[in-house]
Amino acid sequence: MTTTPDWIMIGGDGPESYNQQSSYQRALLEATKDKMTKAISANLDLDLISNRFIVADFGCASGPNTFVAVQNIIDAVEEKYRRETGQNPADNIEFQVLFNDFSLNDFNTLFQTLPPGRRYFSAGVPGSFFERVLPKESFHIGVMSYAFHFTSKIPKGIMDRDSPLWNKDMQCTGFNPAVKKAYLDQYSIDTKILLDARAEELVPGGLMLLLGSCLRDGVKMSETPKGTVMDFIGESLSDLAKQGVTEQEKVDTFRTSIYFAEQGEIRQIIEENGKFTIEAFEDIIHAKNEFPFDPKTLAISFKAFYGAFISAHFGVEVMRKAFELVEVKAREQISRLHNSKPGMQYLIVLRKN
């Protein structure tokens, strides 16, 4: 079994950084602000809002989206407190935000760009969210934004050419049922471990807010715009191997530890885990719902997301060349994108049982 390189976003705040290129992810946070506020108002016990309130973001990257996510939560908690007690939250509540990601994440950029005027104390929590990273009962609301689609490793057999599970593509396209099952099984195991860990770390009655992308039931990854661009990336890397720019062996051993689950699969995993009640599972439709089908924008935003991961395996030069080809492919095959089936963006609200 192979462990993939840690899934690190491009750090710093240069033109290709995650910091500058994550507006797609941010659009979902902005679109869900009202729904997050309502969910917190309806599902968080007033008793939990006392002198010390802890918010944790798992898979925070280097910002700025994490600041939007945690501020939305703090605003909602303050609003509920003000409305239901008539008191000023600033007089009575101190907030702390725990920022979690892999230790190699660019925490320097994160801490250097913390919003001025924020009303919370900050701390970094390094480590994989597939393990316990915090003491028992140590936070009140957790959030995961575009971080609930990872597996801890590439499923067994996926990179073995002699296995019926061998996957020629870099992602789970959804077309090979055996490959799809292997990814789903791994995702299910990992996600249950993740939920177990968060359930221990959350205070009783605490909430987890999950925001991200999934598939509508019955839709295959490669049928969506995101899956189509991921296929362009895989095809571009294969082209570079054919041109001798990189080795075929490297292409064959490059697979993503990402599984975009179907809506029903996510629901089933959470229910089987049994540590949380699903208070809401919302289908969020917003202006930036799908990527704009502009070849240049697509190449840049997917580079921000996947670039560091590809660099770690192929080196930065191959990564750059691959995304030049992705832009060409997106231009040549724009109809594939226009004919794709919509993906889905969600807000899931979980309450610890």
Binding mask 60-99 for ligand SAM (x = CB under 6 A): xx---xx---------------------------------
Among positions 7, 99, 107, 305, the unique one binding Mg ion when judged by CB under 5 A: 7
Say whether residue 306 binds Mg ion (CB under 5 A). Answer: no
Task: Enumerate the β-bridge partners of residue 35.
Answer: none
Q: Does 345 bind ligand SAM (CB under 6 A)?
A: no
When asked if residue 59 is in the footprint of ligand SAM (CB under 6 A), the reply is yes
245-264 burial, b at 16+ Cβ within 10 Å, e below that, comes to: ebeeeebbebbbbbbbbbbe
Residue 22, contacted partner among ligand SAM, Mg ion, none, CB below 5-8 A by kind: ligand SAM
77 burial level (CB within 10 Å; 0-12, 13-18, 19+): buried
With CB atoms as reference, the residue minimizing the distance to ligand SAM is 59
Whole-angstrom distance, CA of residue 329 vs CA of residue 331? 5
Question: Which of 39, 147, 197, 240 is in the footprint of ligand SAM by CB under 6 A?
Answer: 147
Count CB atoms within 10 A of the CB of residue 163.
14
- Sheet with 94-101, strands from edge to edge, namely 120-126, 94-101, 52-58, 139-145, 202-214, 344-352, 276-283
Q: Does 237 bind ligand SAM (CB under 6 A)?
A: no
- By CB under 5 A, the residues from 250 to 269 that bind Mg ion are 257
CB-wise, 100 or 228, nearer to ligand SAM? 100
Q: Which does 53 bind (CB under 5 to 8 A by kind): Mg ion, ligand SAM, none?
A: none
61 binds, among Mg ion, ligand SAM, none (CB under 5 to 8 A by kind): ligand SAM
Residue 186, interface with ligand SAM (CB under 6 A)? Answer: no
DSSP state, residue 351: E
CB of 193 to ligand SAM, least distance (A): 10
Q: Which is nearer to ligand SAM, 59 or 174 (CB)?
A: 59
The set of residues, in sequence order, having a beta carbon less than 8 Å from that of 32 and lying 6+ positions away, is: 72, 211, 282, 284, 347
Where do we find the tokens 């009962």? 137
For the bound state, the minimum distance from the C-beta of residue 61 to Mg ion, rounded and expressed in Å, comes to 14
**Residue 102 is labelled as binding a ligand:** yes
Is 117 marked within a binding site? no
Where do we find the tokens 């801490």?
A: 111
101 labeled binding residue: yes
Between residues 69 and 93, which has the closer beta carbon with respect to ligand SAM? 69
Which parts of the chain are beta strand (E)?
52-58, 94-101, 120-126, 139-145, 202-214, 276-283, 344-352
Strands 276-283 vs 344-352: parallel, antiparallel or unpaired: antiparallel
Least Å distance, CB 99 to ligand SAM, is 10
Rg (CA), the chain: 20
Task: Determine how β-strand 139-145 pairs with β-strand 52-58.
Answer: parallel
Q: Which does 4 bind (CB under 5 to 8 A by kind): ligand SAM, Mg ion, none?
A: Mg ion
Give the list of residues 6+ apart from residue 320 with CB closer than 8 angstroms, or none: none
Q: By CB under 6 A, is residue 207 in contact with ligand SAM?
A: no
| Candidate ranges 89-97, 140-148, 197-205, 291-299; the one touching ligand SAM (CB under 6 A) | 140-148
Q: On the CB side of 30, how many CA atoms lie within 13 Å of its CA?
A: 12
HEC string for 14-26: CCCCHHHHCHHHH
Tell me if 214 contacts ligand SAM by CB under 6 A: no
Q: Is 222 annotated as belonging to a binding site?
A: no
3-state SS, one letter per residue, for 262-315: EHHHHHHHHHHHCCEEEEEEEECCCCCCCCCCCHHHHHHHHHHHHHHHHHHHHC
- 145 binds ligand SAM per the rule CB under 6 A: yes
Which stretch in 6-14, 236-244, 247-255, 342-350 sits in contact with ligand SAM by CB under 6 A? 6-14
Chain residues that interact with Mg ion, rule: CB under 5 A:
4, 7, 257
Q: Binding-site residues for Mg(2+), please?
A: 167, 252, 254
Chain residues that interact with ligand SAM, rule: CB under 6 A:
7-9, 22, 25, 59-61, 65-66, 100-102, 105, 128-130, 145-147, 150, 305
